[in-house]
Chain A
Amino acid sequence: MTALGNIAPAAPEVFMAIAGMALLMIGVFQKGDATKLVGWLAVGVLVVAGFLVLMAAPETVTAFNGQFISDRFAIFAKVLVLGASALSLVLAMVWLAQEDMKRYEFSVLVVFATLGMMMMVSANNLMALYLGLELQSLALYVMAAFKRDSVRSTEAGLKYFVLGSVASGLLLYGASLIYGFSGSTSFPVLAEVLSHGTPTGVIVGLVFVMAGLAFKVSAVPFHMWTPDVYEGAPTPVTAFFAVAPKIAALALFVRVMMGPFADLVDQWQQVIVLIAILSMLVGAFGAILQSNIKRLMAYSSIGHMGFALMGLAAASPNGVRGLLIYLAIYIFMNIGTFAIILSMRQKGRAVEGVADLAGLSRTMPGMATALTIFMFSMAGIPPLAGFFAKFYVFMAAIEAGFFTMAVIGVLSSAVGAYYYLRIVKVMWFDEPVDTFDRPAMTNQVVLWGSAAMMFVLFIWAAPLIAGAQMAALSLFPG
């Protein structure tokens, strides 16, 4: 114990690791089908881990010889990640039974992927960063290929794996350059070294690290994999991909940029501005012609990442606050929309075309109303939470003097509104073709809960804003 020092700050991670292995054992030794049992236990594990995170001391503490850090920022991001994972796992349960993919490993992989994400947001060392990222990615590659008898699912898994490995390679190469030119992998030491001057090699390495991280958040120009993987992967996996890993990777992005490389802000700011602008544009224009709703959501998520990166580009406490608020609202918008996509079943068969939503307002007015709420929120129309999400990042960008980026952001969000509203038009004004099956109870609960959050977070946003504010400030010492 003395050799290890205090491991209390990492208690949620230790709990998750042990619980993940225990779930694996339960699944292996359970007679018969253990999918449901392990699934709900995994949801329980994620919730308990969430409480452990919330109970942790809010001060900034490190553990494991400084490789692990726990601060308000990490706590905020971890709560978001755990919530997103738990909600997408709940959504997945019905689907696994319906699509005959009853394999308990799904939930175990979700738990391990989430553990990797928690390690990412708590990384305080380049090596810890890489291992967390790899734990997460490896679990995600397998999940993308989860429906292994489907050609599209295996293609998605393979594509994600190959491209993800290239991104990991870029990141590792950058990390090795940074280590070689600065002499340390520890974030505080790097910050100290870089405050005395910047070797050119570190800047080159930083660009490689940013390329690797941009791939993980699917920011343009490293976004090519996103539509294919989102379309090919089983829908609950896509729902999971769209929320939890994005949050973790963005939080990691913020921690790396604001922590060790805070003094290099002039070097990285221009890169972030560029990828934010490109992501917003590609997200807006790429989605226009999509007829598959999963591909459309992929482009939508690329666009959303662009908006969130605007907060990072501002490189100020307000920018990080805006980014965190954006992520929190983004979870509910996406989970709600995917709850509907998962309910798009005609005669027991899943459909995923935008045209299949035709006339939903007449066949299922409730679901049509909910999807309309989410689409308006994604477009950023008040009085819905999505408006605030965009509002805070735009404010931060303007405060930091990035008027061009803010104007392009507003314009691309107007273009984005076109395809969100197209879905609304298809639902309310087109003739119904076929009715959907009755959605499962769990999906409905998640769906209406998320829809309610769209209003709750608009009217009563003060706790969220205050939490994000404190989380953002913990990254800015003094």
Chain B
Amino acid sequence: MIIQGLAFYLFAIIAVASAVMVITARNPVHSVLWLILTFFNASGLFLLLGAEFLAMILIVVYVGAVAVLFLFVVMMLDLNTVTLREGMTEYLPIGLTVGLVLFAELAVLFGGWVFSGTVEVSRASPTPALSEMTNTEALGALVYTDYVYLFQASGLVLLVAMIGTILLTHRVRPGVRKQKIADQLARGRTVELKKVQNRGGI
């Protein structure tokens, strides 16, 4: 129990601290890296709750895809954090109000869940105990049997999305240099060393 408690406070403190760093870091690339740390810690919290599937998905989807996408965007847009911060004090009250409203709503939701007498009834399909079946197994048992039609249909929707993206964006341009490994290996003795002037290019 005590180890669980320690682990919870470790993950929670690091998550909050790195979340603060996300919005205070001067370098936007650092912000994204702090964000990734936040995701990792949130995923640790999910593990402590026994929701191992959510923990894995958080890492695979948010760290693996979303954060990397953010990183690309940040690197391509050449953001200037100093100009971004200019209106900070102006917007702070609005931001705080929105935060407060969200917090109050969460409190109402949580309070309703805890103090309402009908909680047990309204859980239409309760999750099985972890000792019987893991989350992943329980989800798989539903998705691949009862909902296999919807699962496959979603797969087709994603396939069409992929075809569409490639169709609309992929074009064969002249003058694109692709790496041809066979050609590179076949160069043999013709490899030569050139002295390239600094910042001069070839």
Partner of A65, one of B146, B153, B160, B168: B146
Answer yes or no: B81 CB below 8 A from chain A CBs.
no
Q: A115-B156, A138-B157 are in contact. Are A109 and B149 (CB under 8 A)?
A: no
- Which residues from chain A contact B159 at a C-beta distance below 8 Å? 21, 112
B150 surroundings in chain A (CB, below 8 A):
67, 127-128, 131
Q: Mark B136-177, 1 if CB is under 8 A from A, else 0.
A: 000000001111111011101101110110011000000000
A136 to B167, CA, bound (A): 17
Q: What is the minimal beta-carbon distance from A392 to any residue of chain B, in angstroms?
A: 34
A157 to B168, CA, bound (A): 10
> A145 in the interface, Cβ–Cβ < 8 Å?
yes
A151 → B minimal CB distance (Å): 14
Contact of A112 among B144, B148, B154, B160 (CB under 8 A): B160
Identity of the chain A residue whose Cβ is nearest the Cβ of B150 in the assembled complex = A127
Please, which residue of chain B has its CB at the minimum distance from the CB of A132? B153
**Contact yes or no, A4 B148, CB < 8 A:** yes
* B147 vs chain A, min Cβ distance (A): 7
A108 at the interface (CB under 8 A from B): yes
| A139 engages B149 (CB within 8 Å) | no
B156 touches A135 (CB 8 A): yes
Of listed A67, A131, A132, A139, residue having the most chain B CB within 10 A = A131
Find A142's partner among B124, B144, B152, B160 (CB 8 Å cutoff).
B160
Cα–Cα distance between A21 and B160 once the two chains are bound (Å): 10
B167 pairs with A103, CB closer than 8 A: yes
Most buried by A among B146, B147, B149, B163: B149
**CB neighbours of A261 from chain B (8 A):** none
CB distance from B8 to the nearest CB of A (A): 33
Residues on the B chain within 8 Å of A17, using CB: 152, 156
Cα distance A141–B164 in the bound complex, in angstroms: 9
Q: Which residues of B contact A68 (CB under 8 A)?
A: 149
User: At the interface, yes or no: A36 with Cβ under 8 Å from chain B?
Assistant: no
Question: Nearest Cβ in chain B — how far from A12, in angstroms?
Answer: 14
Assembly CA distance A181 to B144 (angstroms):
27
The chain B residue sitting closest to A103, CB to CB, is B167
**Complexed CA–CA distance, A112 and B156 (Å):** 8
A103 to B171, CA, bound (A): 12
With a CB–CB cut-off of 8 A, which chain A residues contact B168?
A: 142, 145, 148, 157
Contact with B along A413-440 (1 / 0, CB 8 A): 0000000000000000000000000000
Which of A1-58 touch B at CB < 8 Å? 3-4, 10, 17, 21, 24
Q: Chain B residues near A138: list those with CB within 8 A.
A: 157, 160-161, 164
Q: Shortest distance in angstroms between A142's beta carbon and chain B's nearest beta carbon?
A: 4
Q: How far is the CA of A139 from the CA of B145 in the complex (A)?
A: 27
B124 CB contacts on chain A under 8 angstroms: 183
Bound CA span A132–B167, Å: 21
- Interface size band for B: 20 to 34
Within 8 Å CB of B145, what residues of A?
A: 3-4, 65
Contact (Cβ within 8 A) A142 B153: no
Q: How far is the CA of A29 from the CA of B176 in the complex (A)?
A: 22
Q: How far is the CB of A432 from chain B (nearest CB, A)?
A: 40
Of chain B, the residue at the smallest CB distance from A10 is: B149
Residues in B with CB closer than 8 Å to A403 are: none
CA A8 to CA B152, docked complex, whole Å: 16
In contact, A24 and B163 (Cβ under 8 angstroms): yes
CB of B167 within 8 A of CB of A142, answer yes
Cα distance A109–B157 when bound, in Å? Answer: 11
Partner of A108, one of B149, B157, B163: B163
Residues of A within 8 A of B154 (CB): 131
**C-alpha gap A127/B151 in the complex (Å):** 11
- Complex Cα distance, B164 from A119, in Å, reads 20
How far in angstroms is the closest Cβ of chain B from A473? 27
Give residues 113-164 of A contacting B (CB, 8 Å): 115-116, 119, 127-128, 131-132, 134-135, 138-139, 141-142, 145-146, 148, 157
A115 to B149, CA, bound (A): 13
Contact partners of A24 in chain B: CB under 8 A: 163
| Residues of chain B contacted by A141 (CB below 8 angstroms) | 164
* B149: contacting residue among A64, A103, A142, CB under 8 A: A64
Q: Does A263 contact B (CB under 8 A)?
A: no
Provide the bound-state CA to CA distance between A105 and B150, in Å. Answer: 24
Measured between beta carbons, the chain B residues less than 8 angstroms from A112 are 156, 159-160, 163
Contact B153 A139 (CB under 8 A): no
The distance in angstroms between the C-alpha atoms of A145 and B164, with both chains bound, is: 10
Judge whether A134 and B157 touch: CB under 8 Å.
Answer: yes
Q: Which residue of B lies closest to A119 (CB)?
A: B153
> Which residues from A are CB-within-8-Å of B156?
17, 112, 115-116, 135
B157 and A128 contacting across the interface, CB-CB below 8 Å: no
A146–B164 alpha-carbon span in the complex (Å): 9
Inter-chain CA distance A141–B161, complex, in Å, is 10
With most chain A CB atoms within 10 A of its CB, the pick from B124, B160, B164 is B160
Give every chain A residue within 8 A of B147 (Cβ-Cβ).
65, 67
Q: Contact check: which of A119, A128, A142 meets B163 at CB < 8 Å?
A: A142
Kindly provide the distance from the CB of A7 to the nearest chain B CB, expressed in whole angstroms: 9
Closest to B151 in A: A131
Chain B neighbourhood of A146, CB < 8 A? 167
Q: Which A-B residue pairs are the 9 nearest by beta carbons?
A: A142-B164, A64-B149, A131-B153, A3-B145, A105-B167, A65-B146, A138-B160, A67-B149, A135-B157
Contact surface of B with A, Cβ cutoff 8 Å? 124, 144-150, 152-154, 156-157, 159-161, 163-164, 167-168
A contact set with B: CB distance below 8 Å: 3-4, 10, 17, 21, 24, 63-65, 67-68, 103, 105, 108-109, 112, 115-116, 119, 127-128, 131-132, 134-135, 138-139, 141-142, 145-146, 148, 157, 183
**Besides A65-B147, A127-B150, A142-B168, 17 other CB < 8 A contacts?**
A4-B145, A10-B149, A64-B148, A68-B149, A112-B156, A112-B159, A112-B163, A119-B153, A128-B149, A128-B150, A128-B153, A131-B154, A135-B156, A135-B157, A135-B160, A138-B157, A183-B124
Of the A-B pairs whose beta carbons lie under 8 Å apart in the complex, a sample of 6, sorted by A's number, is A105-B167, A109-B160, A132-B153, A134-B157, A139-B164, A183-B124
